[in-house]
Structure 1
Amino acid sequence: MKRFWHILLFFLLFSVGIKDYIEAAGSNSPYKVLILHSYTEDLITYSSFSDLIAEKLEKKNIPTNTQTFYLDCERYNEEEENDRMYHYLDSIKSWNPDIILVNDDQATYTLMACNHPLGKTTPVVFSGVNFPNWSLLKQHPNFTGFWDKPNYMKTIELIEKLYGPSNILFFKNARFMSRESFRAIQEEIKDTGRTLRIGLFHQKRNEYPDDICPGEPGKSVLYTTETAYLSAQSLLSIFQNKPYTACLQIILDFDVLTIGRLANVPNFTVINNGFNDDRGITGGYFTTLDIQTDIVSERAADILQGASPTNYSIIESPKTYAFDWNEMGRFNIKKRDLPEGSVIYNLPFYERYHKAMIIGGSLFILLIIYIIAQLILMYKREFNRKKQIQTNLFKERRFLRLALEGGNTYAWKLEKGRFIFEDDFFIDNKIDPREMSLTDLLAITHPDDREHLRSHIRDIYAGIWEETTIQCRFNFNSKEYCWWELRYNHGEDKADAEQTVIGLCLNIQSFKDKEDRLKVLQEKAEEANKMKSAFLANMSHEIRTPLNAIVGFSNLLQEESDLTPEEKETFKDTINKNSDLLLKLINDILELSRIESGRMTFDFETFRLNDLIDEIYQTHLLLIPPHIQFIKDAPSAEINVYVDRFRFTQVITNFINNAVKFTKQGYIKLGYEFKKEENNVYIYVEDSGIGISREAIEKVFERFYKQDEFAQGTGLGLSICKTIAERLEGDILISSEEGKGSRFTLKIPVKL
């Protein structure tokens, strides 16, 4: 029986090894997949979409390297969306994706409308598109995909199946998607006997909105209104006294998604966005995320393996009835009431595997009975053999247990008060062989560990310990103390007077060294965590300051009707300045993020220093306030430097901006000095401003440090400049005197 289990285990391990080998042999370099979404990453379905696509392509032995872009179409107009899409595609053109997967209408339309070369040459597979722009699609033969045509009637019939003739409320807005959806609903319910009304049903006043699609008495009535015309209080009061049977989500509308969580009636949908996302959506008839990712990954796999998008026509994506178990429980909807073939999400374990648990439980009981029978049989077979060899195994068991715990160690024993080590211990550690008494062992024990060792040996003789370990420092070779671990076992055979205590010893110096290093690393990690907390606190403070100004003055412009034109201009100017400050803060934080992650890129080239200095001077000449003299002091020497032009300009520009900020009158000088003996050039910005104290000079490179807390700026600029200078193989030098001015200098090597 034992041989059977060994053979079975061998074949299992062999099968796993063969599978891993085949997968490793068949793996290729990952394909670059770009995923574009219409809205923001707040939608859980978006992150799930990206993860499922990568997972399903991996199962097809297609490794992927994925990048994701969120268009955030609710925030921008069409021109801004086109610009955002174009600039993003332009920023990754060197990455050159192998395929582009587009989710939802707006991202698909914008990809075509922005006219970027990647959108015209790279294979594109779109999905989740409710209303395709067929004229644009004809101009893009590289596009293929799936038309997620909403089926409003199926979902309306689903509501009627559950509740009979119903009052159904849906919201619309002025956007293209909503207009097209409203038009499609009118076409679908036409001649079905159902009524469509614009406006809300006022139950208390028994008022009915105007019919735009009259129907038959006793059949369902659909009500619609625009969320833009309703206040927050009105939205919440819509469902008082339950005038409606259910809500219908016709488009992705974040106001409607919020209402779904608060409504006291079920919310049904014809699209998958927001479903299974804790948004209060009960279910509907639509293309689920699983179906969508299945068909997209299948099409993408074919194209990545050589197929052309022109081989495929644009088809409607399959749909199914889908429900959220939690929302079903909220509105007392039973599984038996659902259409046949419905998919239920978030099913509890006992509901999902009810039958399997019964079958599995029965099989488990049978397995237990079988195992017990086998154990009884094995016990009877082994009983006689065990009785024969028990005496020999008795002693060997103690050594085997310690050997398994100790690994490659040395055996020792305590016999008649003498410590006896095996010969290999002396050979490997280059020690003269000898027996040692307890006094001898204590003499080579570290003074801090002697009493600890003496106490343990005393407890062993007293019978307190049957088996234990102790770690001490010993100087066996008369050179230095090393950490050793002694493992020992009090003899179980009381009749054997020759081996009272047996044990193993292991040199654990390397483990102790690692332990010390880990303690140091832990301290550094704790310090880094404190620095991170301080950074987040400072960042929160810096962001709130301009935001408070923007929000405050925006509210004043909106609420105060008696403001003079001069006051309005002042408020607008304040809002613009704080917006620029907030943008500068965010850009600096992003720059810090790139620094921390090691993703700050540099493109080094050789430049004439005088050309760079003249370019910076001409750029700032008209920007310097007229009451400050801007001077250029650049020698005519031919000096070349090997730098990143953008990063070099970023550092010098930061110096000039700081000089302008703290110089009320006098001059600002831009120049450089070349020290041939050092082969270094010193590019400086000197001003006649307020200067910096010695204490402040030591802090200027700290993040968020500002000499004047009321001055504009983030306090991140010099910290970023310091990193850039180091990447340019240089340094930043500061000399200053309070009340007389400052000089900031970038020192970099000259290219010969």
Structure 2
Amino acid sequence: MKRRLLLVMLIGLFPCIAFAGHFSAAERTYNVLFIQSYNHRTPWNNQLTEGVRDGLARGGVKAKVTAEYLDADYWTFASECVIMRRICERARQQNTDLIITASDEAFYTLMHCGDSLPYKLPVVVSGIKYPNDKLMSSLPNVCGYTSKINFEYLLENARRIFPHRTEVVCVSDSSLLSLKGVAEFERIWVDYQQKHPEYTLKTMNVQAQAPNPVISSICYEYNAYNRIVIAPKWTPFLSFIGKNSKAPVFAGQSLALTNGVFGVHDMEPYEGMYAAGRCAAQVLQGAIPSVVGISDLSGKILYDYKQLEFFRVNADKVGDNGVILNAPLMERYRGWFVLFYSVIVAALIFLVIWLYRLNRHESRRRMHAQTRLLIQNRLVEQRDEFDNIFCSIRDGLITYDTDLRIHFVNRALMLMLELDPDVHTARYYEGQMAGSIFHIFYNGENILPSLLKQVRTERRVIPIPEKAFMQEIHKGTYFPVSGEVVPIYSKNKMTGMAICCRNISEEEMHKRFFNLAVDASSVYPWQYDIRTASFHFAGALLDQFGLPGKLTILRKELELLIYPEDLEQSQEHFNVILKGEELDTRMNFRMRNAEGKYEWWEFRSTSYNGLSPEAPYMVLGVCQSIQRYKNTEEELIAARDRALQADTLKSAFLANMSHEIRTPLNAIVGFSDLLKDIDAFGPEEVKQFVDTININCTLLLALINDILDLSRIESGSMDFRFAGYNLSFIMQQIYDSQRLSMPQGVELIMEVPESESKSIITDSVRLKQVINNFINNAKKFTTHGAITFGYLTNEPGYTVFFVEDTGSGISEENQQRIFERFYKVDSFTQGAGLGLSICQTIVERFCGKIAVSSELGKGTRFTVRVPDSNE
């Protein structure tokens, strides 16, 4: 019983619930995603969106339409899928209820992008040119409209409008849709050609072949006069082709209109999307997409009004089935405009006639009274105006009639000739013959009469020759002059000649002073022409850059001479000048000279603004080579670094000197104290003490000698006494002094040429000092093996001394610094680090060369190459 009662109550409440649901649905605002295949700059973009909104509203649905753009013409399919997934993600965040797509790319990319959203929401398609029936039949949530291209209908209309164009060119690219369109067009072409055998077909792919043949065959008048272009799929490249084509272009997409296409077979943009909006409204109100289905909207032939005008096709020839788009208001409402302008013109004519007749009588009376007075005053005013104008000109001016008589002389010319303009008025010399005031001399000859006669005969402008002088005939005043002689015309008849000239004394003086200053200082002027983007240099400067015979070079040519590392900075600096941000600047950079070497140049520039601060009127400057300053700067920096390094090493030397001196002194003092009680030690111990004292005395003496030699080198007072010495004798002395002090396990070997006794002119003391320093240095680092020294006489006129050991060796890094003062490879070895530096100084005084070669763990070899005579 209770169950029956509950069932009755539910049945009674069902109409109320349904009504409430219908009411809420009617009031609900839906989120609709509208995906366009192209971008927001596509023609008819606004009409597409407006059509969707109007269709939804007319269908009784309140919706918020969000437009997204795939921009398919500029991306690959993989990139389009990435963009589409982002669109789907944004749609998911906005709780989208339905998706509408425009054109093939948007729909197919949506279904293949990999996102699940298009399979969950209803999708309404529109403008599908090449439908994939298998895909669409498998999608129950898809409905809408296709708009297939009827190529046969398109060709028939093209033939009707252009009956004499019998060559058809099918232009496409390699995209999938474009290839489908070509295949469809070729399919219908077989039947079409059977009907019209006089027509021929040529297929061109702008991606499979170079674009030049395509452009040549369509965009040139002599090739395109007999052709019609068919574009199954519109692309950005075809926009260029369409806008420049000399043959009418027919396509299958309305977006091609306004891009140079003559006509397309498609729905009107607004109508197609309006139908899609109505279909979407049905789905949002509960209609099932699979029931609504997909149907084809038959298109129309849409024509571009501008293309009709371009190909001179009468609008009446379009026919009833064609639609003309982009027609101006004047064409669409021609009758109303004609009527309106006719009324306005009639009213204006009536008003003008009435005013004319009203004022005619009064004007005629006034005109007769004023004409005589005006003529008289005008003649006087014209003459005075003529005098005032030409007297205000800064250049000198004198006019002659065709008989070579003076007509007028202006104030500037009289001042140049040092004549008093207050006494000699502008008409003072009127009627006098040419030459009565001045002469013009060139190469010592008066050329004034010949110049005037030449202009009178040839009736053209003749310039006054360079280096010509003008001389006043009474005082003899003369000066260099520049100017020209020009003919004077009145009503196409030559009535006289005029000389326009100026005194160029100061200009010549400044020019010559400037040239002298430039030649003496090697400072070269330059000028940058903003209009031509070129530099004007002195010829001598361009000769240094390997560009003889030129006076101007483009900015790009100059930048090729700049060192690559300096190019970017110099470009930025010069761009700042051209923007007007700096007026006076200085730039330093390296440039390649005629020898292919780079040298430093300094460019100074100044500019002054033109019509606006951002655009300078002119940029002027001077430049000079600063390579010698750069070289001096580098030398000073290197000298400073060497001085700082020497000072650092000297400071380290002085800091360690107390240790170097105290070590042998402590040994000497300590063992000397032990010898006070000599009886407490055995003979061997006493001998050992004495040897230790002797060794440390020798070390201390060597240290003091090095310090003294250093001081002599610093003061320039190191003495050299050159004489002839036998080398074998010197080598034997060195061997005898060194063999007893060799470390245990190390053998001293002397190698000299056998059966040869050679003598050289040298300082034997300094020579032995060098070799002994090498041997002493070798003893510090050799614990076994041998130390070999001697000389070689392989090179005539030179002797090579060498000291070679089997010690620990020297690294390549230390070999670079081994001859520096105070430098020690091993800071724990005895010595001040002066020996090898002193050796280098001595060898340089011998006019010789010192070298070292070493390998870690195998030993070191020092060589000294000196001439046999130092005289």
TM-score by length of 2: 0.34
TM-score by length of 1: 0.39
* Higher RCO (CA-CA < 8 Å; seq separation 6+): 1
Bigger Rg over Cα: 2
